[in-house]
Amino acid sequence: MSNRKGIILAGGSGSRLYPITSATSKQLLPVFDKPMVFYPLSTLMLSGITEILIITNPENVTNYKDLLGDGSQFGIKLEYLAQAKPNGIAEALILGQDFLGNSDCALILGDNIFYGSNLQEILLRSSKVSHGATIFGYRVSDPSRYGIASFDVNGRVTKIVEKPSKPETNVAVTGLYFYDNRAVNFANSLSPSNRGELEITDLNTLYLEDQSLNIELLGRGYAWLDAGTYESLLDASNFISTIQKRQGTLVCSPEEIALKNKWISLAELNELVKTYSENSYSMYLKSLLDQWS
């Protein structure tokens, strides 16, 4: 269990997924058998984080509360905050400053999905770093679409360029960031970019200039999916479906993570599953009761 607090940024207009986002939040859409928000929630839980703030549009706060409640069914504590208008990723830290207090934090975008066999080990290691920031790099085939990290001969990050026309590498900075308790002050010092937003790249650059920016490169054994377009949403669903069918396990089930972390008991999981409809998701959770009892 970590003293670090988490923020899930689940706002935005979802314009790339219109019209299916015209009546609901993008992060409530299904990625195969789970709401999209389950995946970033699970990533924070795998990091040992039990206090999490979900930031979303004012009209969707009630929907998230209906889905996730106060988090006690997962052995965690959830809070909610409305973002009137999306003004950049770094704004999440300013909006969440009362929630964060003097704590270190982890910020994750609500449409980012991470998968890998040793992912929890990397997350827990990163969460234990008490000074500086940790970002996560992933090699992509289309680097001009992302914030791209460049490196010196020793593998240290030298700069991060947002959507470069001539990228120096193909290492994209993913939508997961671990920060120490200076993050709110750094975020408050930022000026809006030409897009009128508080850019997360500018925040990461402040840590880089402070010589306290670390990067974890997620290699071939990992998947990073950004489910923000029609095609990527379909790809993410197909990926999760394939992994689960081949391995007979669930990917990013908050209930299973809570059980393995010993944040809930078998008895509590049993009572929770009784409230679920009979489907493959609940059947898997029921199988855990048999395996662990």
Judge whether residue 83 has pLDDT over 70. Answer: yes
Burial class from Cβ neighbours inside 10 Å (0-12, 13-18, 19+) for residue 35 reads middle
> For residue 25, what is the domain's CATH number?
3.90.550.10
Q: Which has more confidence, 59 or 2?
A: 59
Q: How far apart are CA 221 and CA 119, in angstroms?
A: 9
Confidence of residue 13 (pLDDT cuts 50, 70, 90): low
| Residue 153 domain-assigned (yes or no) | no
| Residue 24 domain-assigned (yes or no) | yes
Q: How far apart are CA 68 and CA 203, in angstroms?
A: 30
Average pLDDT, rounded, for the chain: 94
Q: Domain range holding 273?
A: 264-293
The mean per-residue pLDDT over the stretch 38-57 comes to 98
Same domain, 209 and 287: no
Same domain, 215 and 250: yes
The mean per-residue pLDDT over the stretch 16-20 comes to 80
Same domain, 59 and 31: yes
Using a pLDDT cut of 90, give the percent of the chain over it. 85
Confidence of residue 22 (pLDDT cuts 50, 70, 90): confident
Same domain, 271 and 226: no
Same domain, 240 and 291: no
Same domain, 186 and 45: yes
The mean per-residue pLDDT over the stretch 133-161 comes to 95
Q: Among 83-92, 103-112, 250-259, which is the least confidently predicted range?
A: 83-92
pLDDT by residue (tens digit) across 196-205?
899 999 999 9
Structural domain count, the chain: 2
The mean per-residue pLDDT over the stretch 207-233 comes to 93
Q: Which has more confidence, 194 or 71?
A: 71
| Residue 121 domain-assigned (yes or no) | yes
Q: How far apart are CA 137 and CA 147, in angstroms?
A: 10
Same domain, 219 and 285: no
Same domain, 281 and 197: no
| Residue 210 domain-assigned (yes or no) | yes
| Residue 190 domain-assigned (yes or no) | yes
Same domain, 179 and 113: yes
pTM, entire model: 0.96
Q: How many CB atoms lie within 10 A of CB 195?
A: 10
Same domain, 202 and 288: no
Q: Letter for the amino acid at 240?
A: I
| Residue 79 domain-assigned (yes or no) | yes
Same domain, 78 and 222: yes
Confidence of residue 132 (pLDDT cuts 50, 70, 90): very high
Same domain, 227 and 275: no
